[in-house]
Amino acid sequence: MKSYVIDASVVAKCFIEEDYSDKALEVINAHVGGRLSLLAPSLIVYELGNIFWRHPRITSEKACEFIEKFVDLQIGLVDVWSDGELLKNACAISKNRNLTFYDASYLAMVEKDKVKLVTADEYLRDKAPNLVALLKEFKG
């Protein structure tokens, strides 16, 4: 089974109707259906919380419900700080590619697991085109 790292820009589209929400749901449904396996750094929960908090139509109750539904998806969450090599690589990627530590954490996982990151973030794709699959072009 093929594995991918997934970021908050994709997961959020499953809960907030936006461009390519249908593609995001396809990716999640393929994971739930056992056709592919998804991983993410555990910090994705905090990123999703921020996305939902900032959204004007999402209440705190709804944000909590969305996060609980995300956790129920059984995406493999990795604590980047618990793996010295992963942490060191995330720090290096952040500095070398001028990326936030959040984004660098996704890329460090991708490099370690030799998989691709699925993201809707074109800036991130442009920073690491060989490591990233853009959601709108994704074919699992």
> Strands, DSSP E only, in 31-114?
36-41, 76-78
Return phi, psi of residue 10, to 5°: -85, -50
- What is the torsional sign of CA 43, 89, 24, 135? positive
pLDDT in tens, 3-32: 999 999 999 999 999 999 999 999 999 999
The CATH classification of domain 2-137, taken from the options 1.20.1440.230, 3.90.1150.10, 3.40.50.1010, 1.10.443.10: 3.40.50.1010
Structure token digits, residue 21: 């929400």
pLDDT 10s digit of each residue in the chain, 140 long?
899 999 999 999 999 999 999 999 999 999 999 999 999 999 999 999 999 999 999 999 999 999 999 999 999 999 999 999 999 999 999 999 999 999 999 999 999 999 999 999 999 999 999 999 999 999 87
